[in-house]
Amino acid sequence: MKKSLVAVGVIVALGAAWGVASWQTGKKIEANLDEYIAKANKAIKDNYPDAPVTLTAKDFSRGIFSSDVKLIIKETKKSGDTSGEELVILNTIDHGPFPLSQLKSMVFSPNMAAIHSELENNDITKQAFEITGGKSPVATDTRISYDQSFDIDLAVSKINYKKDGEELAFSGADLNVKFDKEFKNVKGKGSSNELTYRKGDRESIVMKGLSFDSDVAKSGDSYFYLGDQNLSLKELAVVNYSDTVSLKDLKLNGTSGSKDNKLTADVDYSLGSLSYRDIDLGAISLKGSLKDLDATSANTLMASVEEYTKLSESMYTEDFDDAKMEALDEKMKSNALGLFKYSPSFAIAPLSWKNSGGESKVNLNVTFNALNEESFKALEHAGSFEKVLPVLVKEFGFNMDLSKPMLTDFVAVAMQSQGMGAKEAKEQGEQGVAQMASMGAMMEIVKVTDKAITMDLKYSNNNIDFNGKKFTVAEFLEKYDQYGALSDNSGDDEGYEEEAIEMDPNGDVTEEVTIGEEPAADVAAPAAQ
């Protein structure tokens, strides 16, 4: 009997403690509500100064375990008048430390509050409620922890709409976002099964199997969120009268990071199938990377660009500061130059297109020199590609491997999509590829075999290897730059003298480029006698 009384006493004590804690949480929320609203309005004004909205709260009703409040988004006119239309959000706040709504969802970790939010059905939202069957078009469940981190579930309602030959069907969508107090660490994921829009019998868009996930973070005053981001789409089909385009199995994956003040990024794009007018054009994939970009310069450049954008808004007013803009231009040049501090590199390895005939690939990689003020001046005054290249580029590589059967198949299906018969289209494809290969071989820019058309170009230390043949840059340009597009145009900079650029075996510039004195001003002609 005593044990039972003790157990009951413990339960009552815990219940009382929970009730007191919940009541105190409710009081705290009510006491700080105006401060929260003021901070939200300041954030809107700071980040979206042209947004014509103001947030207010009314009808706060506090209970022991939960409270209700309406948040109102008002249209604000240029005059400051807030008597415009109102979008009302209904909120039920379950108090911590153990909000009732999260206990129902089997979430037992302590939180300061759990908030369920829905739109109010009023004149503004009436039509949206009609196409969602009377449900709020959007609803959120937000959990706020005691360290002020957020965990938000957002649900978009199903839509079924038919009127005047138009049809919109949406399966709904689910989204989850988690972020900390300072919005430095952000995780998100979401998905939607299907969206269909039709207009009559000849126009439609169908999207199936959309999903994404993201896990990114930034440190300090960085402008960049770094981490992993992925997106996938099972199918997208667009019909416009007789034209139909279909994409299947689209995937976009990206990873970025920073180590030793160097930014890196890798991307992987793939498309499982591309078709036009129900004719399969093949699959496409691309892998790319960016490495060793100076993180400090990248962030200061972003800050300068932001400042430049704000300053540009007053460009045609009396308040515009020319001197400040000129100084900002110089600062941006310095920031851009700093990006090359660690000799960054960029690569596409590979870009691939595959169909029933085979696979064609292209690879590209560029490693830049670590630039400084002197080499930047050389770039500004260099009059030719031959002089720019060794200053800017340390190594360059381009490789192309085109499958002749793949190209033939691609040309043939393209012809078929325009109404040509299969046999004739294949013949046209074979002829077109043969002519292209013959012309490239005649110009000595590709190598041709029975199955492939290839090109291979490598540059380093001011030398070029092109399809197995060795050239200096000057020799290469003399042979292949027939129209002089990359030739020396330095005559326009007469008066500037540049010393020859010397490089070590690794391709690094060992002797700085020096710029001569500017040409003297023209001497005035003697006055007529």
Question: Which CA distances in Å does 292 have to 227, 258, 429?
Answer: 16, 9, 43
Residue 18: band (very low, low, confident or very high) from pLDDT cuts 50, 70, 90: very low
Contact, 202 vs 239, CB < 8 A?
A: yes
Residues 6+ apart with CB under 8 A from 418: none
- Angstrom distance (rounded) from CA 169 to CA 69: 33
What's the pLDDT band for 81 if we cut at 50, 70, 90? low
Residue 45: per-residue pLDDT: 80
414: nearest Cα among 353, 481, 331? 353
Give the pLDDT mean for 319-343: 86
Residues 389, 507: Cα–Cα separation, whole Å: 11
What band does 26 get if pLDDT is binned at 50, 70 and 90?
Answer: low
Question: What is the C-alpha separation between 470 and 230, in angstroms, rounded?
Answer: 43
pLDDT digits (tens, 9 = 90+) for 57-79: 888 887 777 888 888 888 876 65
d(Cα 281, Cα 417) in Å, to the nearest integer? 10
The pLDDT value given to residue 263: 96
- pLDDT > 90? residue 292: yes
What pLDDT is stored for residue 82 in this prediction?
A: 56
pLDDT (0 to 100) of residue 504: 55
Domain layout of the chain by residue ranges: 1-157, 358-493
Output 465 or 82, whichever has higher pLDDT.
Answer: 465
Mean confidence (pLDDT) of the chain:
82
pLDDT at residue number 154: 93
Q: How confident is the model at residue 383 (pLDDT cuts 50, 70, 90)?
A: confident
- pLDDT reported for residue 83: 61
Q: Do 393 and 370 meet the contact criterion of CB atoms below 8 Å apart?
A: no
Predicted TM-score (pTM) of this structure: 0.79
Identity (one letter) of the amino acid at 243?
Answer: D
Q: How many CB atoms lie within 10 A of CB 85?
A: 10
For residue 433, pLDDT over 60 is answered with yes
What is the spatial distance between Cα 276 and Cα 235, in angstroms, rounded to a whole number? 14
Looking only at the bridges linking them, the beta strands covering 166-170 and 173-179 are unpaired
State mean pLDDT over 288-309: 91
DSSP calls for 327-367: HHHHHHHHHHHHTTTT--EEEEEEEEEEETTEEEEEEEEEE
pLDDT at 265 exceeding the cut of 80: yes
What confidence tier does 484 reach under pLDDT thresholds 50, 70, 90? low
Distance in angstroms (rounded) separating the CA atoms of residues 379 and 504: 20
Percentage of the residues of the chain whose pLDDT score is greater than 90: 45
The token duo for 296 is 């400090």
pLDDT at 106: 66
- Taking residues 244-251, what's their average pLDDT? 96
Q: Which of 416, 444, 449 is nearest to 433 (CA)?
A: 449
Is 80 exceeded by the pLDDT of residue 229? Answer: yes
pLDDT given for residue 4 in this prediction: 40
Q: Binning pLDDT at 50, 70 and 90, where does residue 488 land?
A: low
**What dihedral angle (degrees, nearest 10) is formed by the CA atoms of 157, 161, 166, 169?**
40
CA atoms within 13 A on the CB side of 47: 6
Separation of alpha carbons 386 and 420, rounded Å: 47
* Alpha helices, H only, 418-484: 422-442, 473-480
To the nearest 5 percent, what fractions of the chain are helix, strand and coil?
A: 30, 40, 30
**112-160 per-position pLDDT tens digit:** 888 899 999 998 899 999 999 999 999 999 888 888 888 999 999 999 9
pLDDT at 97 over 70: yes
Residue type, 250: L
Query: How far is residue 31 from each of residues 36, 60, 64, measured CA to CA in Å?
Result: 10, 11, 15
Question: For 5-158, where are the E strands, in sequence order?
Answer: 53-62, 66-75, 86-95, 113-119, 138-144, 150-156
What does the angle CA 352 – CA 349 – CA 472 come to, to the nearest 5 degrees? 115
CA distance 251 to 254: 10
Contact 254, 284 (CB under 8 A): no
What is the tens place of the pLDDT at every residue in 407-426? 999 999 888 888 888 889 89
Helix residue ranges per DSSP H, 443-490: 473-480
> Tokens representing 422?
């299969």
Q: Among the listed ranges 141-145, 379-383, 390-394, which one has the minimum average pLDDT value? A: 379-383
Dist CA 73 CA 75 (whole Å): 7
Quick one: CA torsion of 161, 163, 166, 171, rounded to 10 degrees? Answer: 10
The more confident residue out of 8 and 223 is 223
Give the separation between CA 122 and CA 137, rounded to whole angstroms: 13
Mean pLDDT (whole number) for 475-489: 72
Contacts of 149 (CB under 8 A, 6+ apart): 178, 179, 180, 181
Task: Rounding to the nearest 10 degrees, give the CA dihedral for residues 214, 219, 224, 228.
Answer: -20
Q: Assign 219 a pLDDT band (cuts: 50, 70, 90).
A: confident
Look at 180-194, 235-249, 358-372, 498-512 and tell me which has the smallest mean pLDDT: 498-512
| pLDDT over 50 (residue 519) | no
Q: ∠ CA(180), CA(181), CA(185), 5° rounding?
A: 30
Cα distances (Å, whole numbers) of residue 526 to 303, 519, 522: 53, 20, 12
Most confident by average pLDDT, 48-57, 171-180, 496-505: 171-180
pLDDT band at 242 (very low <50, low <70, confident <90, very high): confident
Percent of residues, the chain, with pLDDT higher than 70: 82
Provide the sign of the torsion angle of the four alpha carbons 408, 410, 412, 415, taken in this order. negative
Mean pLDDT of 370-377: 81
Q: How many CB atoms lie within 10 A of CB 502?
A: 12
At a CB cut-off of 8 Å and minimum separation 6, what does 215 contact?
186, 187, 227, 228, 229
- Single out the residue of 10, 179, 21 nearest to residue 98, CA to CA: 21
